[in-house]
């Protein structure tokens, strides 16, 4: 029995606390709907309520209808890959709001509601439920003090997580520390970026100091609950964002006058990088002393199986790396369909990898395929790259094992017994049969598909329920390397070693020790793109680095099968996308700003 089953069984209770429509996010719902005393009168009810706190926990996998913490329309079947260079939404689905974003048509009416990138209200609903727990758990008579402390720790780290998810999107926020009634709903203005940051870190520290919150869950039914590992990981991640150029700056991305402190620190401090490095090391040390480890089976390095387990499987399936992961409670079949490629896989491919994402990955020997050789200077398809006869996979077959387990391409094997070979191509002439996954046969757009999260479900979607990898130990290694390199005058052996652990466990060579500080910085950024492909990092990484350029030009591949059984590959510019600097932070919903309690809108919106 998993958390999802428990959540489903208490849907009525959860709705009473968290899904009631309120004009103000922190209001307690009408007392006629429920009584707090009855919920906290005995342990069994408190247990059910505790599970309801996770109802809107972060989820990476999405279907096209959307629910949970982030709605699906902008995501077009996946994470927000469709508004990064990782993926694109099908032109056949013009209703998806990701098309609006990519064309530059964004407003706060939908961008931060349940049709857009974020659902601002859901964060506050979770926070409200957590404070109800914190304020009432001590009243449960048949619960031990130790268990009450555990529940308090879970509630506090979930408040910190919700605040972080808002902080990275909006900057400084109103700081709420208790529930409110209709009569005294807070007219609370935005706190500064630093005050909000300090609040998140203080919550993490309180949870870390809690002796009764476990380092990890040990029972399968508890998978998805917060642990002390999440507190360590969230602290390191928050410090990384604080140290990054978007926030760690004398001046903000847009001058905001007297309100600059809402969107940046107002100074550059290299010690913020040191703090992030040290927090990452503390997280690594704590986790590895408490049963966590990088998934690294020597017999599975070259097959990519280590990566599959680390990113998609649960602890009872061998994942020693996941520090916090979640699953969907419902709609698993639609999620699978949304991610699967068109053609024989029977998917909708509403979100599809771009050629940009293919170029994240190098060959196993560290060299790169020169895809640009097939593209003209103006971005049009140029002189085709030809494969040897009957080798459509020629240019892809030696790419990083993480690529092989993440992206489906022309000529790769989708499944065995029976063999299914992917056919992303059109015939050069009417005498050549079009590929079953190609543009003509399957109305494909980008010449790739997702394999990540679909591994082991190629033949059947029965039982499809991959993990959403919200925080992995690999991220702590990457944070350490990035923060160390930014803080130190030159790359350190320890920073190189941390990246090597992540690369070698997937069958890739170690980092060249001759890289200087600037080169290693770019290497780390590229490695994050590879390791965290389609894990909801890319969009926010490019924003925190203030490097939106990769969003702007999206490339595709024209693939043709010739009469002699060779294949022509021509890279071309598929789409020019839009970026405005005021997009570095999200808009607050105008309906909330108009309440007039001091929620100052971010600049440009």
Q: What are the tens digits of pLDDT across the range 423-479?
A: 999 999 999 999 999 999 999 999 999 999 999 988 888 888 888 899 999 999 999
Residues 345 and 458: their CA atoms lie apart, in Å, by: 8
CA distances from 476 to 125, 143, 468 (A): 29, 35, 17
Between 501 and 8, the more confident residue is 501
- Indicate if the pLDDT at residue 70 is higher than 70: no
At residue 74 the predicted structure's pLDDT band, cuts being 50, 70 and 90, is low
DSSP-derived letter for residue 384 is P
595-598: long-range contacts (C-beta < 8 A, 24 or more apart)? 595/24, 597/186, 597/187, 597/188, 597/189, 598/174, 598/187, 598/188, 598/189, 598/190
Check residue 596 and give its pLDDT: 86
Check residue 598 and give its pLDDT: 87
**299: part of which helix (H) or strand (E)?**
none
Check residue 198 and give its pLDDT: 98
- pTM for this entry: 0.93
Alpha helices of 104-247 — where are they, by DSSP H? 108-111, 120-136, 145-170, 193-208, 228-243
- Indicate if the pLDDT at residue 389 is higher than 90: yes
Residues 392 and 427: their CA atoms lie apart, in Å, by: 13
Burial of 68 (0-12, 13-18, 19+ CB in 10 A): buried
pLDDT tens track for 93-125: 777 788 889 999 988 888 888 668 888 988 999
**pLDDT, mean of residues 246-253:** 98
Secondary structure class of 346 (helix, strand, coil): coil
Residue 500 neighbours by CB distance under 10 Å: 17
Secondary structure class of 487 (helix, strand, coil): helix
- Pair of tokens at residue 569: 């590959």
At residue 183 the predicted structure's pLDDT band, cuts being 50, 70 and 90, is low
At residue 580 the predicted structure's pLDDT band, cuts being 50, 70 and 90, is very high
Unique residue bearing structure tokens 């699967």: 340
Secondary structure class of 571 (helix, strand, coil): strand
Check residue 4 and give its pLDDT: 41
pLDDT tens track for 357-386: 999 999 999 999 999 999 999 999 999 999
- Indicate if the pLDDT at residue 530 is higher than 70: yes
- Indicate if the pLDDT at residue 181 is higher than 90: no
Residues 432 and 437: their CA atoms lie apart, in Å, by: 15
- Indicate if the pLDDT at residue 186 is higher than 70: no
- Indicate if the pLDDT at residue 1 is higher than 60: no
- Indicate if the pLDDT at residue 15 is higher than 90: no
At residue 73 the predicted structure's pLDDT band, cuts being 50, 70 and 90, is very low
- Indicate if the pLDDT at residue 2 is higher than 80: no
- Indicate if the pLDDT at residue 388 is higher than 70: yes
At residue 67 the predicted structure's pLDDT band, cuts being 50, 70 and 90, is very low
- Indicate if the pLDDT at residue 23 is higher than 60: no
């Amino acid at each position: 029995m998993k958390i999802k089953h428990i959540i489903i069984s208490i849907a009525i209770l959860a709705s009473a606390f968290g899904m009631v429509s309120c004009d103000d996010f922190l209001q307690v719902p009408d007392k006629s709907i429920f009584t707090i005393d009855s919920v906290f009168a005995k342990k069994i009810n408190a247990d059910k309520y505790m599970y309801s706190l996770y109802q809107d926990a972060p989820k990476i996998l999405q279907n096209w209808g959307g629910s949970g913490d982030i709605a699906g329309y902008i995501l077009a079947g996946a994470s927000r890959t469709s508004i990064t260079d990782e993926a694109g939404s099908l032109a056949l689905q013009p209703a998806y709001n990701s098309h609006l974003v990519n064309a530059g048509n964004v407003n706060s009416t939908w961008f931060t509601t349940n049709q857009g990138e974020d659902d601002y209200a859901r964060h506050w609903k979770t926070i409200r439920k957590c404070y109800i727990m914190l304020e009432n758990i001590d009243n449960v008579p048949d619960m031990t003090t130790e268990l009450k402390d555990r529940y308090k720790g879970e509630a506090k780290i979930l408040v910190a997580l919700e605040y972080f998810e808002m902080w990275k999107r909006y900057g400084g926020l109103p700081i709420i520390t208790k529930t409110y009634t209709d009569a005294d709903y807070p007219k609370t203005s935005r706190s500064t970026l630093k005050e909000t940051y300090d609040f998140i870190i203080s919550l993490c520290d309180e949870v870390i100091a809690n002796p009764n919150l476990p380092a990890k869950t040990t029972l399968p039914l508890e998978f998805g609950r917060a642990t002390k590992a999440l507190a360590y990981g969230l602290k390191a991640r928050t410090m990384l964002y604080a140290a990054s150029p978007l926030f760690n700056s004398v001046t903000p991305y847009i001058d905001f006058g007297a309100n600059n402190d809402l969107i940046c620190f107002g100074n550059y401090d290299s010690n913020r990088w040191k703090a992030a490095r040290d927090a990452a090391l503390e997280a690594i040390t704590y986790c590895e002393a408490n049963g966590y480890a990088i998934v690294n089976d020597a017999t599975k390095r070259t097959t990519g199986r280590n990566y599959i387990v680390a990113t998609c499987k649960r602890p009872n399936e061998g994942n020693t790396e996941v520090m916090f992961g979640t699953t969907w409670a419902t709609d698993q079949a639609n999620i699978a369909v949304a991610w699967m490629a068109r053609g024989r896989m029977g998917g909708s491919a509403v979100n599809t990898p771009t050629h940009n994402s293919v170029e994240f990955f190098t060959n196993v020997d560290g060299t790169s395929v020169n895809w640009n050789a097939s593209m003209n200077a103006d971005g049009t398809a140029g002189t085709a790259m030809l494969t040897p006869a009957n080798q459509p996979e020629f240019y892809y077959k030696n790419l990083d094992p993480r690529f092989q387990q993440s992206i489906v391409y022309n000529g790769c094997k989708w499944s065995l017994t029976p063999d299914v070979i992917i056919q992303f191509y059109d015939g050069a002439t009417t005498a050549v049969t079009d590929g079953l996954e190609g543009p003509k046969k399957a109305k494909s757009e980008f010449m790739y598909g997702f394999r990540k999260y679909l591994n082991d479900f190629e033949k059947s979607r029965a039982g499809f329920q991959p993990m959403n990898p919200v925080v992995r130990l690999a991220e702590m290694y990457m944070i350490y390397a990035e923060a160390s390199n930014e803080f130190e005058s030159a790359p350190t052996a320890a920073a190189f070693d941390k990246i090597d652990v992540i690369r070698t466990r997937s069958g890739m060579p170690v980092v060249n020790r001759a890289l200087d500080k600037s080169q290693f910085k770019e290497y780390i950024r590229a490695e994050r793109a590879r390791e965290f492909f389609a894990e909801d990092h890319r969009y926010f990484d490019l924003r925190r680095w203030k490097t939106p350029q990769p969003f702007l030009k999206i490339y595709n591949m024209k693939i043709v099968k010739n009469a002699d059984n060779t294949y022509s590959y021509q890279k071309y510019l598929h789409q020019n996308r839009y970026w405005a600097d005021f997009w570095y932070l999200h808009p607050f919903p105008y309906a909330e700003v108009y309440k007039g309690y001091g929620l100052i809108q971010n600049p440009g919106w």
